[in-house]
Structure 1
Amino acid sequence: MSIVKFFRVVLAAAILFAGLTQTARADFRHLTGDTSTSPTFHRPTQSLLGLSADGTNVHYNTYTFQVSRSGSYNFYTTGLFDTFHLLYEGSFNPASPLTNAIAANDDLYSDTDTGTSGFYGLLESNTTYVFVITGYDNNSHGRYEALISGPGLITAVPEPSAYLMLGLGLAGIMLVSRRKNRQV
């Protein structure tokens, strides 16, 4: 075998093996917001065994997402108020706050660290999750920062109303275009 043929075989093998390897992809989502003027609900307790006696009318924000790879994902929230956050699988209904709830956290480090919440959870790919950021009690609301991180891509899932608005926008564009064509 000539040296040129040998290098061709080695190059072909290297390309084949390079195509078989998978690159690791990790992602994170940085969320910021303010719960001061958001809707309210009666939040669950951290154990998810019942509803809170302190958080009967707490403001909340939601982030609906899916992950591309199953694995362990971290959730971390910090705010200028006593933060509390929850994770729901499938959907979140504020009128039924225990339904679909799979995780919750009040104070990440201790009872004296009231501005930080966090947990990790095992998430399945192509499943919809709703991350709910709220306060511990009815007077806990304000600006926050949250971080979701894990081994796969974290992709926001649009609300059904976004699809409705897109459809109405496209219908409006088609109507205007049709009217212009008739006038010509």
Structure 2
Amino acid sequence: MRFKLTIASLLILGSLSMAQAATFTFTGNTFTNPDGRFNRPEENGMMLSSLGSNVPYKVFGFSVTSPGSYTFVLQSLEPVVYDPFLVLYASSFNPSSPLSNFVVANDDLAGDTTRSGFTQTLSTGVNYFLVVTGKIGDGMSLFEDSGAFQTTITGPGTIVPVPEPATMILLGTGLVGVGAALRRRHNG
């Protein structure tokens, strides 16, 4: 009886440790280091926002190592707490076409105007783009929503950052330059 109880306990503990979620956290600032500005979509993804017509944003590209349900939580940080807005895109994100590839968005998480978030089922083999922005933006007001933030993604797999296309171009250009220098060195 004691032996059976021990094996059952080990099986339960083993399954609990395998079920633990991976967590990935990143921070940034849409005010001091924006990727640009865009007209963000409404939460339903059906139309563009009239309040967020020119909001600064920050993009984080990633993929996942395991399919399943992932939870995203965006928190605006001190000293200036703003009303953040979170949008998820699949395959690609184009700020000039913000309704394309839209998956899900959220403004206020559980009525909290300093947090946004959602839970979404993700698949392996897909690049996702998480866009951190604000609810209100017009490019002229001191009251637009932008500032420091922290975003946490929790789910069954590992979050793998995907470099932005511009980063890949720079890396490729650098590698070509190194190759040319080595070739000159070898031939000269």
Q: Measure the CA separation in 1 of the matches of 2:92 and 2:179.
A: 33
Q: Which residue of 2 aligns with 1:55?
A: 52
Distance 1:102 1:167 in 2: 31
Deviation at 1:182, TM superposition (A): 3.5
Aligned length in residues: 161
Structure index of larger Rg: 1
Deviations 1:127-176 (A, max 9, x none): 11110100000100010000111001110111222222222112211222
Checking the alignment, whether the CA contact within 8 Å between 1:25 and 1:152 is kept in structure 2 is no
Q: Give the TM-score of the pair, scaled to structure 1.
A: 0.82
Q: Deviations over 1:81-101 (max 9, x none)?
A: 100001011111111111111
- SS at structure 2 position matched to 1:158: coil
- d(CA) in 2 for partners of 1:26, 1:68: 12
| Structure 2: 5+ residue stretches without partners | 1-14, 138-143
Q: Is 2:170 the partner of 1:175?
A: no
Matched residue, 1:130: 129
CA 1:63–1:83: 2 relative to 1, 3 Å = same
SS of the equivalent of 2:166 reads helix
Contact 1:48–1:104 (8 Å) recurs in 2: yes
Query: Which amino acid in 1 is paired with 2:93?
Result: F
Deviations 1:45-89 (A, max 9, x none): 112121111111011001111111110000000002100001011
Paired with 2:50 and 2:165, the residues of 1 have a C-alpha distance of: 32
What's the TM-score, normalizing by structure 2?
0.80
Matches within 5 A, 1:1-184: 26-37=21-32, 38=34, 39-79=36-76, 80-110=81-111, 113-138=112-137, 139-183=144-188
Superposition RMSD in Å: 1.8
**Unpaired segments of 5 or more residues in structure 1?**
1-20
